[in-house]
Every structure is written in C-alpha cells, then in structure tokens.
Amino acid sequence: MMYDNIIALDDLKQHLNIDKCYLDDDAYIVSLLYAAVDATQLHLRRKLMDNERPSVLQGIKFLVAHWYRNRENVSSISANDIPYTFKYLMDLNRSYKCTY
C-alpha cells in the first residue's frame, strides 16, 4: 500500500508550509496521506490512477491539511467539518455508475 507515487511527501510538506528539513512529523503526514487516499477512493468509488486528475490530488492535499491542523474531532473553540472544497472536488470526479 504505497501512495508515494500519488503525492510526494515533499509536495505535502510544501502544501502544509512545513520546511523540508523538519522530519519529526514525516511518518504522521504519510499516515494521513494513506488515510486520505483511502477516503478518496471510497468517496469516488474507484481506485486512484497513477496519472490522477489535478482536482483529485488537490482534494487529497486539502484533506491531509485539514487532518494535520485539526487532530481531534472537536476542539474547545469549535468543531470543524471536512472542508467543503474536498467534497466539491471529489464529487466532480465521482463515479455514479450503477454497479448492481
């Protein structure tokens, strides 16, 4: 289950505004990538391709960033849902074919 070919760790760190030299969260960021790819595949109802659409890749980055910045379900200030941008970008690419 390697998703490094979908989005590189350095690309995710750039999206998260994390310096490439900061290595402490690398394993955590990769685990978020795996979970985001899994969630994306379930939402799209298909496997991701090696040459995936830019909107899907951006949606995965948004989801990883959301989970990285909001590590708990609820904060003392406010609850944060999955960003609308993720759902919008995924719905653009979702397969609505009937499979039964």
Q: List pLDDT tens digits, range 44-91.
A: 989 998 889 999 999 999 999 999 998 776 555 555 555 567 777 778
What number is the average pLDDT over the span 6-19? Answer: 95
Angle at 87 between CA 17 and CA 91, to 5 degrees: 125
* CA–CA dist 14, 84 (Å, integer): 21
Mean pLDDT of the chain: 83
For the full predicted model, state whether its pTM sits above 0.95: no
Encoded tokens for 27: 């394993």
Question: How distant, in Å, are the alpha carbons of 35, 45, 46, 80 from that of 99?
Answer: 25, 10, 12, 33
For the chain, give me the number of helices (H) and strands (E)?
4, 0
Domain residue ranges of the chain, discontinuous segments joined by +: 9-93
How many Å is the Cα radius of gyration of the chain?
14
